[in-house]
Every structure is written in structure tokens, then in C-alpha cells.
Amino acid sequence: MAERIEMSAPVVEIDGDEMTRVMWAMVKEKLLLPYVELNTEYYDLGLKHRDETDDMATVEAAHAIRKHGVGVKCATITPDARRVEEYKLKKQWPSPNGTIRAMLDGTVFRAPIMVGNIAPAVRNWTRPIVIGRHAYGDVYKNKEMTAPGPGRAELVFTPRDGGPETRALVHEFDGPGILQGIHNTDESIRGFARACFNYAFDQKMDLWFGTKDTISKTYDARFRQIFEEEYESSWMEKFKGAGITYFFSLIDDLVARVVKGEGGFLWACKNYDGDVMSDMLGSAFGSLAMITSVLVSPDGKYEFEASHGTVQKHYYKHLKGEKTSTNSMALIFAWTGALKKRGELDGIPELISFCTRLEESAVSTIESGIMTGDLVRLATPSPDNRQVSTEEFIGAVRARLPA
């Protein structure tokens, strides 16, 4: 075997729970360690360890990404009441993804891993559609209430420096109803815009953005305006040089164009649009295990992860000693994404080419018909198609790499 590739700076390695934790160890042992002298700073975000450390493990992991610039995260349990009982937790700890996202103030980019023998539900999507979801504000930080009966609902803004209040009538209720207040900040929208322009430029993809600014002439219009300001002040020349474009349209027009198009662009989505549309695209491109996900902070810190959960049902089978057929593609690509980024930042071309080779091996394994159960159901029928176990799939990818 050739010399293992050395790394000059660490990747922040964030371990997780259940079936993804099992696969995490397999991917490292079979696909990475034989080829790369992995330099990682390890954080155990398994639920038990989060509980033991009063969730400080999560906070420390986020700090470590801030410090080293690149992290890779396994899926983790967000505990609900049942999990509190199952793991005898001190309390119902918050979602680690939520904590890390808030600390990095990032934008999440999700892209499908396309393979030749799984056709997207939309025939003309021959190239990937990447979603960039604004992860702050709007309906996710709303305040809402019921209007129990007739009365007046108003928006009131009170300046901190004591200036005059601004008021606007929302509705004069004649009977019971509902109302909601939402907000966003210029700073967060600008960070979102920058992250999207950066990602599109980095990947040499067009950037599409849509809002409902014809109806929402202040709120949605602000998003449009900030994107335009960023584009004109910092990106127009760079985009022209790279042969890519920034395209804005009304959100409903944009959705229609997405479906009719061939893909190959980054779709910047407001928070709610991104929540809904990433689920639609995820299923249209096949399986959640065929989606890569990366959180990018405005100052260029990266956290790569799999977007699916810990695959609890498969884990319980695994614990009983039964065979599982769990797809490790998203985890493999989380690792290759993080290591490639390290390779770029630290100037290690061998690391980048190894990761590209590993990704190609994983894709060609599926294209040869060897795949896990979630994909067998979706693949173009062929006598070569064969459902394999979790371990066998990883073994088949390994068999395509140098001995």
C-alpha cells in the first residue's frame, strides 16, 4: 500500500448516535484510515455523553469548528420525552444541530448525490439542484396569538433611543381570529446572501432567488434589495468572469422554472421555502441518504453532515444481531466534503484527489447495481441490481479503491 496521506490541520470530528454512529466507525476504518493519516479533534455528541457533560460537549464542538474552520458531524438524537426515559437523561437537551447552527450563524446547503441508475422524479433534472436555506427568523421565531373576539391588532415599534413609536394596524377584528408577528434582521439576511454568493461562486453554479415582494412590499422586498446590493457591490464582476449568473424572480415564477429547468443551480430559499422545498427535492432526487448537507458561516467556517437522522429502526435491528441495509452515502460524502475542504485550505492536492476517487467509487458501486435497500426500490430495474447489507456496501466501495 502507498504511504498514507498526511494532514497538517485537524478536522473537527463530531460523533453521534445509533445506526449512524455504527456506520461512522465503519467508514473511518474501511474507507479512510487505510489511506489517510486522519488528523481530527474528536467530540463525542452521543446522547449519553451530551447528558454527562450537561450538553457542554455540543458547545465545545461548535467552538472547535470556529477555531479550526472545518468540521464533520454524524447524525445525533434530538431527545423527546421517550428518549429522556430511554436514556435516563437529566433533561430534554436541545437539538445539537440547532445549537451549532445558532453559534455559527450559518446557511445550510443541501445537494443531491446523483447516480446514473436512479432517475429523479422530474425527468428533465439532469443536473443537481442545490438548496441554500436561510436558517434564521421568519415563522421560526414568530410570536402568535388568537384574537378571542372583536378588537384591534397593531404592529408597534418602539425605538430604544426614545424616539417616537411607529404603529400600523394589522386588522380590526369583528370576531375571533388569529394573528402572528415575524421578523428578520438586515445582518442575518446579508450573511445569508453572502453565503449564497460565496457558495455559487465556489461551485461555479448560477444562483437563483425568489421572494413574494409584489405582495410583501417591505418584508420580502428587503430580502431582494439586500441580495441586489451584495451582488452589485461584490459579485457582479466575479460572476461574469466565472460565466455564471444571478437570477431573481417572483417565488411562484421561480418554482415553475425550477420544475421546467434542467437543474445545475443554487436555489437560495427563505427559511420556510427552504424547509419545504428541501423535503420536496430530497424525495424527488431519491432518498435522504443521497443528499449532502453543509453549514457555511458568513466568515467561512464549514460543517459537513448527513441530513438524515440516526436511522433508529435499523439500529434496533442491528442491536438484535439482525442484518441491516443502511445507506452510508451521505456519511461518506460528509467526510469527503470535510477532507476536501481541508485539502483546499491547507494545499494538500493528494487529499482532494483521494476524496474525489472515494466519491467516484461510491457512485460507481451503486451504478454497478450494488446498493442498500432504500435505493433498490428506486433504481432502474436491472438483473445486476442486488440489495446488500450495510457492511457489504462499504466493502464494495472499498473494493474499488487501491488494495
Task: Write out the residues near Mg ion by the rule CB under 5 A.
Answer: 275, 279
Indicate the residue among 189 and 295 with the shorter CB distance to ligand NAP: 295
Closest CB to Mg ion among residues 283, 356 = 283
The listed partner (ligand NAP, Mg ion, none) that binds 40, CB under 5 to 8 Å by sort, is: none
Q: Which of 39, 53, 78, 385 binds ligand NAP (CB under 6 A)?
A: 78
Q: CB 308 → ligand NAP: shortest distance, Å?
A: 4
Smallest separation, CB 287 to ligand NAP (Å): 7
Q: Which residue is nearest to ligand NAP (CB)?
A: 309
324 phi and psi, to 5 degrees?
A: -115, 160
Q: Which of 196, 287, 178 is nearest to 234 (CA)?
A: 196
Shorter beta-carbon distance to ligand NAP: residue 16 or 210:
16
Question: In whole angstroms, how close is the CB of 278 to Mg ion at the nearest point?
Answer: 6
Mark residues 247-286: x for contact with ligand NAP by CB under 6 A, - for none.
----------------------------------------
C-alpha cell at 7: 494532514
Q: How far is the CB of 39 from Mg ion (least distance, A)?
A: 35
Q: Which is nearer to ligand NAP, 110 or 342 (CB)?
A: 110
- Hey, which residues between 324 and 363 contact ligand NAP (CB under 6 A)? 326-327
Nearer to Mg ion, 279 or 299 (CB): 279
Question: Closer CB to ligand NAP, residue 58 or residue 327?
Answer: 327
| Contact pattern for ligand NAP over residues 289 through 328, marking x by CB under 6 A | x---------------x-xxxxxxx------------xx-
- Which of ligand NAP, Mg ion, none binds 76 (CB below 5-8 Å, type-dependent)? ligand NAP
Contact set for ligand NAP, span 174-233 (CB under 6 A): none
Q: All 3 cell numbers of residue 13?
A: 470530528
The residues that bridge with 318 in the sheet, in sequence order, are none
**Minimum separation from the CB atom of position 329 to ligand NAP (A):** 7
Near ligand NAP by CB under 6 A: residue from 40, 58, 97, 297:
97
Q: Do 275 and 133 contact (CB within 8 A), yes or no?
A: yes
Smallest separation (angstroms) from Mg ion to the CB of 275: 4
202 binds, among Mg ion, ligand NAP, none (CB under 5 to 8 A by kind): none
Give the residue with the Cβ less far from Mg ion, 46 or 106. 106
Pick one of ligand NAP, Mg ion, none as the site partner of residue 394 (Cβ within 5 to 8 A by kind): none
Please say which residue, 177 or 373, places its beta carbon nearer to ligand NAP: 373
Distance from C-alpha of 80 to C-alpha of 86, rounded to nearest angstrom: 10
Q: Which is nearer to ligand NAP, 45 or 244 (CB)?
A: 45
Strands laid side by side in the 246-250 sheet: 40-44, 11-15, 70-73, 302-306, 291-296, 107-112, 129-134, 265-269, 206-211, 246-250
Instruction: State the minimum distance, in angstroms, from the CB of residue 274 to Mg ion.
Output: 8
Indicate the residue among 235 and 333 with the shorter CB distance to ligand NAP: 333
* Count of positions on this chain that bind ligand NAP (CB under 6 A): 19
Judging by beta carbons within 10 Å of its beta carbon (0-12, 13-18, 19+), is residue 368 exposed, middle or buried? middle
Pick one of 61, 62, 65, 77: the residue that binds ligand NAP (CB under 6 A).
77
Q: Name 302's bridge partners.
A: 70, 296
Q: Which stretches of the chain bind ligand NAP, using CB under 6 A?
A: 75-78, 97, 288-289, 305, 307-313, 326-327, 372, 374
